[in-house]
Structure 1
Amino acid sequence: MTKYILLFLLTIGAACNAQVTNQTKQTKGNNMNNPVVTKDFEKFDSVLFDNRKDKSENVLRATQPDGSYLEMSVWDGGMGYSLTPRSSYYMLQKVYYRSNGNIRAKGLYFNNGFLQLGTWYEFDEQGRLVREVNYDKDYHLKLEDVLRFCEQERIPVDRGPILQSTGYHTKIRRAGNTQGKTWTIEWLKEPQKVEKIMLDDATGKVLNRTETNFTNN
């Protein structure tokens, strides 16, 4: 979870807000089991965190009765919370101010990869909502479209929590510049070979495919 928190802290204030019309196709029968994100003020649940079983680490890890995976952590610069439903491609991420436990930012990530999704909400230290950033609006394709492509290509994409040391898991990323926007899929095509597929965001067409050797350390 910490890697996502650190990445988010680096992106605060750097989000692009250019207006782009989104006309992507909708996935039929969409049941993504998205965690709910609201713009409401909230505080870090210190009672829950302090009741963790292992107090030798500043991290709480727990599987909930419904199968969701919860992780909470505290460090010098703040506090974090993440929740990944068992059958979801999404992870709910929240960051709090260390000084008072007030919410600093919250939103959704793809469950495996540095991919912020949907609208993120940012707050000042007093708990006032100061910014809303829609990370999807600059892209024509949605995550559902890319997942449908993966299904057609028989590329496995795992739902639920992606934990360390559990093997290779398909990664999905997106990026954009003045020359266009793309989505990138990396998956374990063979036991020792990773295929990287780049999709054009405007058309959904495959721009290129490359393969690299993979060594499982």
Structure 2
Amino acid sequence: MGVVGRTWDWLSTSAHWSGEGGVWQRLGEHLFLTAVCLAVACALALPVAVWLGHIGRGGALAVNISNAGRAVPTFAVLVLLLLSPLGSYGSLPVVVALVLFAIPPLLTNAYVGMREVDRDVVEAARGMGMTGRQLLTGVELPLAFPLIATGVRSAAVQVVATAALAALPGGGGLGRVITAGFRLTDTAQVVAGALLVAVLALLVEGALVLLQRLLDPLRRRPARIPGAPGGM
């Protein structure tokens, strides 16, 4: 039997899915780790990017510094963190590495989305007496939402795929399926674990696309752009 057949056998064996260390438990750990890291990255990156995009100063430098961080492999960052004093704090090095990995797409997309809002629309809103807060929440954020959401999707998929590295220092997640397969020299289990991570990344991408469509303020209500006929 080839690798494909043995991989299918592994995935279709119920014993591999249930109980302690089963796929369902590892999946829950993987999703929890992804959610925590993505939430922390969003809390750090989005307010900064949105504010810099709103005021139009300092954003280019922040984006360039953030993008430079993409050149550093996540695995290398994780190894350095494990060797640092943070290495004695359980999963903290993994969380820090994944948060750092998620920040660049969040920061870049949110800043670019804010800066690409039509300046004529912004000036028309200012001319109608809108305050900075009203301009930010009522005009700029709704128009920048698609790019901001794209950044969140990109960061989420990257974190889902990279969270498998959490297994290397003994953390949880689907990466444990892969590392166990290597330890047992079970190629089918290694391939099965990789497929599970890939499928999860695709499912997360699809779910976030649907969520974006549901939350997009320009889809949920007719756009009222200052200065346009029938606008504010």
- Tell me the TM-score normalised to structure 1 length: 0.23
More strand by share: 1
- Give the structure with higher Rg (CA): 2
Task: Give the number of the structure with larger relative contact order, counting CA–CA contacts within 8 Å between residues 6 or more apart.
Answer: 2
